[in-house]
Amino acid sequence: MVVVQMYNKKEVRSRDITEPRNKRTDHINKRNFLMAILSRLLSHIVKKNSVALLTQGILSKNSSGSKVPLAAYYDPTPRRTVVRRLLQSVAVSVGRRAVYRSISEGGKRFYSQLPERIVKMPEEKSFQRLPENVKPKHYQLSLVPDLKSFTFQGSVSIQIEVVEPTDEIVLNALDLTFDKAELKGDKVLTSSEVQLSSKCETATIKFASMLAPGPYELNIDFQGELNDKMKGLYRSKYTIGDDQEAYAAVTQFEATDARRCFPCWDEPALKATFDISLTVPKHLVALSNMPIKSSTPLGDLVKYDFEKTPIMSTYLVAAVIGEYDYVEETSNDGVVVRVYTPKGKKEQGLFALEVATKVLPYYKEYFDIAYPLPKIDLITVADFSAGAMENWGLVTYRESCLLVDPENTSAVTKQCIALVVGHELAHQWFGNLVTMEWWTHLWLNEGYASFLEFLCINHLFPEYDLWTQFVNESYIKALELDSLKSSHPIEVPVDNPSEIDEIFDEISYNKGASVLRMLHHYIGDADFRKGMHLYLTRHQYGNTFTEDLWAALEEVSNKPVKQVMSTWTKQMGFPVVKVTSQPTEDGNGVSLTLTQSKFTADGSKPAEDYLWMVPIGISTSKDLPEEVVNTMLKTKSADVVVPNVGPDDFIKVNPGTIGFYRTQYTPELLEKFIPAIKNKTLPPLDRLGLVDDLFAMVKAGHTNTVEVLKLLEAYKDERDYNVWSSIGNVLGRLSQLLGHTDFLKDYNKYQKVLLEKIYIRLGWKVRNGETHLNTMLRGLVLGRLAWIDDEKIMKEAKQRFRNHVTCEEVLPADIRSACYKTALRAGGSTDFETLLFLYRVTDLNEEKERISRALGAAKDPYLLEKALMFAMSDEVRSQDTVFVIAAVAISTKGSEMAWQFFKDHWDEISERFSGYLLNRLIKYLTENFASEAMAKDVEEFFTHHKAPGCERIVQQSVETILLNAAWLKRDSEDIRKYLSSI
Ligand SMILES: [Zn+2]
Q: How far is the CA of 394 from the centre of ligand 1 (A)?
A: 14
Q: Report the pLDDT value the prediction gives residue 585, as an integer from 0 to 100.
A: 86
What dotted CATH number matches 80-96+129-325?
A: 2.60.40.1730
What distance lies between CA 176 and its chain's CA centroid?
29
Q: How far is the CA of 229 from the centre of ligand 1 (A)?
A: 20
Confidence of residue 6 (pLDDT cuts 50, 70, 90): low
What fold characterizes domain 575-659+661-700?
Answer: Immunoglobulin-like (2.60.40)
| Selection from 921, 926, 918 nearest residue 962 by Cα | 926
Q: How far is the CA of 588 from the centre of ligand 1 (A)?
A: 50
Helix, strand or coil, per DSSP, at residue 400: helix
Q: How far is the CA of 424 from the centre of ligand 1 (A)?
A: 6
CA 781 – CA 777 distance, rounded (Å): 6
Long-range contacts of 339-346 (CB under 8 A, 24+ apart): 339/377, 339/378, 339/379, 339/402, 340/285, 340/287, 340/377, 340/378, 340/379, 340/380, 341/380, 341/402, 341/403, 342/238, 342/380, 342/382, 342/399, 343/240, 345/403
Mean pLDDT of 444-451: 94
Residue 110 confidence (pLDDT) above 90:
no
Long-range contacts of 584-587 (CB under 8 A, 24+ apart): 584/641, 584/643
Residue 321 confidence (pLDDT) above 80:
yes
User: In this structure, what is the dihedral angle of CA atoms 769, 770, 776, 778, given to the nearest 10 degrees?
Assistant: -120
Q: How far is the CA of 2 from the centre of ligand 1 (A)?
A: 5
Mean pLDDT of 755-779: 93
Report yes or no: 251 and 391 within 8 Å, Cβ to Cβ. Answer: yes
Pairing verdict, β 435-436 and 543-544: parallel
| Selection from 968, 980, 962 nearest residue 112 by Cα | 962
CA 491 – CA 441 distance, rounded (Å): 6
pTM equals 0.85
C-alpha torsion sign, points 168, 172, 174, 180: negative
Q: Check: CATH 1.10.1070.20 for 704-827?
A: no
DSSP classification of residue 472: I
Q: Report the pLDDT value the prediction gives residue 555, as an integer from 0 to 100.
A: 98
Q: Report the pLDDT value the prediction gives residue 64, as an integer from 0 to 100.
A: 34
Q: How far is the CA of 331 from the centre of ligand 1 (A)?
A: 22
CA 844 – CA 908 distance, rounded (Å): 27
Q: How far is the CA of 384 from the centre of ligand 1 (A)?
A: 15
Residue 573: phi and psi, rounded to 5, are: 85, -170
Q: Report the pLDDT value the prediction gives residue 186, as an integer from 0 to 100.
A: 84
H/E run at residue 698: helix 684-699
In this structure, which residues have their CB less than 5 angstroms from ion ligand 1?
Answer: 1, 446, 449
Residue 722 confidence (pLDDT) above 70:
yes
Q: How far is the CA of 352 from the centre of ligand 1 (A)?
A: 17
Confidence of residue 249 (pLDDT cuts 50, 70, 90): very high
Q: How far is the CA of 451 from the centre of ligand 1 (A)?
A: 10
Give buried/exposed letters for 351-379 (b at 16+ CB in 10 A, else e).
Answer: bbbbbbbbbbbbbbebbebebbbebbbbb
Helix, strand or coil, per DSSP, at residue 706: helix
Residue 79 confidence (pLDDT) above 50:
no
CATH superfamily of 434-569: Neutral Protease Domain 2 (1.10.390.10)
DSSP classification of residue 391: -
What confidence tens digit (pLDDT) does each residue in 343-382 have?
Answer: 999 999 999 999 999 999 999 999 999 999 999 999 999 9
Q: Report the pLDDT value the prediction gives residue 695, as an integer from 0 to 100.
A: 97
Range list of H helices, 889-950: 892-904, 906-912, 915-926, 932-944
Helix, strand or coil, per DSSP, at residue 870: helix
CA 706 – CA 975 distance, rounded (Å): 6
CA distances from 770 to 417, 540, 722, 773 (A): 22, 45, 16, 8
Q: How far is the CA of 956 from the centre of ligand 1 (A)?
A: 23
**Most confident of the following: 44-53, 92-101, 156-165, 402-411:** 156-165
CA 934 – CA 931 distance, rounded (Å): 5
How confident is the prediction for the chain on average, in pLDDT? 87
Q: How far is the CA of 445 from the centre of ligand 1 (A)?
A: 6
Q: Does 441 carry a binding-site annotation?
A: no
Q: Report the pLDDT value the prediction gives residue 38, as an integer from 0 to 100.
A: 53
Q: Does 446 carry a binding-site annotation?
A: yes
What distance lies between CA 480 and its chain's CA centroid?
16
Mean pLDDT of 633-659: 94
Catalytic residues: 424
Q: How far is the CA of 716 from the centre of ligand 1 (A)?
A: 38
Q: Where in the chain is the domain with CATH 1.25.50.20?
A: 704-827
Q: How far is the CA of 425 from the centre of ligand 1 (A)?
A: 9
Residue bearing the bigger pLDDT, 24 or 613:
613
Q: How far is the CA of 433 from the centre of ligand 1 (A)?
A: 14
Report yes or no: 345 and 326 within 8 Å, Cβ to Cβ. Answer: no
Residue 688: phi and psi, rounded to 5, are: -75, -35
Mean pLDDT of 710-728: 95
C-alpha torsion sign, points 871, 885, 504, 458: positive
DSSP classification of residue 916: H
Q: How far is the CA of 381 from the centre of ligand 1 (A)?
A: 17
Residue 397: Cβ within 10 Å count: 25
Report yes or no: 175 and 227 within 8 Å, Cβ to Cβ. Answer: yes
Residue 202 confidence (pLDDT) above 50:
yes
Q: How far is the CA of 935 from the centre of ligand 1 (A)?
A: 32
Pairing verdict, β 394-398 and 375-381: parallel
Q: Report the pLDDT value the prediction gives residue 187, as an integer from 0 to 100.
A: 82
| Selection from 756, 661, 668 nearest residue 712 by Cα | 756
| Selection from 894, 834, 884 nearest residue 859 by Cα | 894
Q: How far is the CA of 518 from the centre of ligand 1 (A)?
A: 20
Q: How far is the CA of 727 from the centre of ligand 1 (A)?
A: 28
Residue 232 confidence (pLDDT) above 70:
yes
Percent of the chain with pLDDT over 90: 77
Report yes or no: 348 and 417 within 8 Å, Cβ to Cβ. Answer: no
Q: Report the pLDDT value the prediction gives residue 608, as an integer from 0 to 100.
A: 79
User: Among 127-141, 219-233, 619-633, 881-895, whose mean pLDDT is lowest?
Assistant: 619-633
Q: How far is the CA of 30 from the centre of ligand 1 (A)?
A: 37
Q: Report the pLDDT value the prediction gives residue 916, as an integer from 0 to 100.
A: 81
How wide is the angle at C-alpha 683 spanned by C-alphas 678 and 689, nearest 5°?
90
Mean pLDDT of 163-191: 93
CA 107 – CA 91 distance, rounded (Å): 34
H/E run at residue 320: strand 319-322
Residue 60 confidence (pLDDT) above 70:
no
Q: Does 427 carry a binding-site annotation?
A: yes
